[in-house]
């Protein structure tokens, strides 16, 4: 199978249109606490809404303040300008600004026959209390999706959906293992494009493309001209062009800790026992971003461990202006990185790549510092 569509990072709705042409529903989701497995089990195509490629947000700016996160405004702009032709949006309360994107889309969509729903996800996970609350939210989501789609969820369908998503996650992890090599066959820009493709394609199609890429990986030319091995962490990053600027200056991004990158694929959902409990455990307990108030120590340890595992020589901390979740994490993280001899650079950014020149200058200076 041709896997080149993995590297087309622009929002691609061709598979969505083909899906809906069969009379099936396709629903957008925002943030990482909406279980895609539930939608897949109900024969609904989950499409993660992003802002990739947006250069201005004139319509969204009339609904959201310019002092709000430009990624959130970019998502709303994509919804308002017709980039996404979907049957609704499901979101969790990931952060305040993404919730405002949903609120405005829902308000504008009153009476349009689409499904708009927000589920609550606890900001701490300490056990049964939080798991039961989130499970009840999932039950409400299931009821709404069943009524909207006309399909009925069964344990068999849910288990099959979980197994498919686990397979996709496992294949992505195999690809990311290739980045540990001294001379990887995949760049950081390409790696982000591969994970972004998960946002747009049915899981079966995505799996087939991943398998085709892995089969051909041995034929790819290793990258031998990089000057420093880097890890990128921080706010929602759905623009591979950002990494391209860094890599054009000699950095090679071999690892990340971002919600559009490796983190959603880092582990699997358990398929034995109560499946809804397993989903709740998975979505609340995985290490994703600082949104979860009780996982800071785990998040910092994961970043430091990843630096060691991938032989990272420097960390690029990209912080979206006005980002609620990643606004001050460098204060806690930088001392831990210093302890293992890994320098960090903090760069503020916007969704559109308006400061590419400044980024290039700072990236090159950072790489030169690492070389010295």
Is residue 264 classed as helix, strand or coil in its secondary structure? helix
Q: What is the pLDDT of residue 248?
A: 97
* CATH number of the structural domain spanning residue 75: 3.40.50.11890
Buried b (16+ CB within 10 A) or exposed e, 2-38: ebebbeebebbbebbeebbeeebbbbbbbbbbbbbbb
The full DSSP string for 43-91 is T-EEEE---TT----TTGGGTS-TTS-HHHHHHHHHHHTTS---SEEEE
CA atoms within 13 A on the CB side of 86: 27
9-48 confidence digits (pLDDT tens): 899 999 999 999 999 999 999 998 999 999 999 999 999 9
313 in a structural domain: no
Q: Retrieve residue 226's tokens.
A: 């990089």
31 in a structural domain: yes
Cα 101 to the center of its chain, rounded Å: 17
100-151 confidence digits (pLDDT tens): 999 999 999 999 999 999 999 999 888 899 999 999 999 999 999 999 999 9
- What are the residue ranges in the chain where pLDDT is below 70? none
Separation between Cα atoms, residue 54 and residue 165, nearest integer Å: 28
**Are the C-beta atoms of residues 232 and 209 closer than 8 Å to each other?**
no
- Other C-beta atoms within 10 Å of 216: how many? 11
Q: What is the pLDDT of residue 291?
A: 87
Beta bridge partners of 338: none
Separation between Cα atoms, residue 21 and residue 16, nearest integer Å: 8
Domain range enclosing 124: 9-156
- Angstrom CA distances, 261 to 150, 232, 236, 305, stand at 33, 10, 9, 17
pTM metric for this prediction = 0.96
Helices (H), the chain: 14-21, 36-41, 70-80, 96-108, 128-149, 155-177, 188-197, 203-216, 240-248, 275-285, 296-309, 330-339, 356-371
Q: What are phi and psi for residue 36, nearest 5 degrees? A: -65, -25
Residue 257 is given by DSSP the state E
Q: What is the pLDDT of residue 245?
A: 98
Q: What is the pLDDT of residue 330?
A: 86
Separation between Cα atoms, residue 182 and residue 37, nearest integer Å: 36
Q: What is the pLDDT of residue 191?
A: 98
75 in a structural domain: yes
Closest CA to 346 of 316, 303, 320: 316
Separation between Cα atoms, residue 85 and residue 215, nearest integer Å: 33
250 in a structural domain: no
- Domain count across the chain: 1
278 in a structural domain: no
Separation between Cα atoms, residue 324 and residue 330, nearest integer Å: 13
Q: What is the pLDDT of residue 296?
A: 84
**Are the C-beta atoms of residues 257 and 299 closer than 8 Å to each other?**
yes
Q: What is the pLDDT of residue 343?
A: 98
Closest CA to 29 of 114, 102, 106: 102
149 in a structural domain: yes
201 in a structural domain: no
**Are the C-beta atoms of residues 279 and 269 closer than 8 Å to each other?**
yes
Is residue 337 classed as helix, strand or coil in its secondary structure? helix
287 in a structural domain: no
**Are the C-beta atoms of residues 82 and 59 closer than 8 Å to each other?**
no
Separation between Cα atoms, residue 314 and residue 318, nearest integer Å: 13
């Amino acid at each position: 199978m041709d896997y080149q569509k993995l590297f087309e990072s622009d929002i691609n709705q061709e598979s969505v249109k083909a899906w809906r042409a069969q009379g099936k529903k396709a629903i957008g989701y925002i943030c990482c606490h909406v279980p895609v497995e539930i939608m897949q089990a109900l024969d609904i195509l989950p499409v993660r809404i992003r802002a990739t490629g947006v250069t201005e947000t004139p319509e969204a700016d009339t609904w959201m303040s310019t002092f709000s996160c430009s990624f959130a405004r970019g998502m709303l702009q994509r919804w308002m300008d017709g980039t996404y032709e979907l049957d609704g949006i499901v979101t969790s309360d990931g952060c305040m600004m993404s919730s405002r994107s949903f609120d405005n889309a829902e308000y504008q969509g009153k009476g349009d026959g689409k499904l708009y729903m927000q589920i609550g996800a606890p900001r701490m996970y300490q056990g049964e209390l939080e798991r039961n609350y989130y499970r009840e939210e999932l039950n409400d989501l299931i009821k709404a999706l069943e009524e909207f789609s006309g399909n009925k969820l069964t344990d068999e369908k849910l288990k099959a959906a979980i197994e498919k998503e686990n397979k996709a996650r496992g294949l992505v992890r195999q690809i990311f293992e290739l980045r540990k090599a001294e001379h990887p066959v995949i760049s950081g820009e390409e790696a982000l494009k591969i994970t972004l493709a998960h946002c747009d394609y049915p899981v079966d199609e995505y799996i087939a493309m991943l398998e085709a890429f892995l089969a051909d990986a041995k034929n790819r030319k290793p990258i031998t001209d990089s000057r420093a091995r880097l890890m990128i962490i921080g706010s929602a990053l759905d623009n591979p062009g950002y990494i391209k600027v860094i890599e054009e200056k000699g950095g090679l991004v071999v690892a990340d800790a971002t919600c559009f990158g490796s983190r959603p694929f880092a582990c699997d959902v358990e398929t034995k026992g109560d499946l809804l409990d397993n989903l709740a455990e998975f979505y609340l307990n995985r290490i994703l971003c600082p949104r979860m108030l009780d996982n800071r120590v785990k998040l910092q340890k994961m970043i430091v461990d990843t630096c060691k595992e991938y032989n990272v020589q420097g960390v690029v901390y990209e912080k979206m202006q006005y980002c609620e979740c990643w606004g001050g994490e460098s204060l806690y993280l930088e001392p831990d990185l210093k302890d293992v001899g890994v320098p960090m650079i903090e760069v503020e950014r916007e969704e559109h790549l308006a400061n590419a020149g400044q980024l290039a200058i700072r990236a090159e200076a950072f790489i030169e510092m690492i070389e010295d």
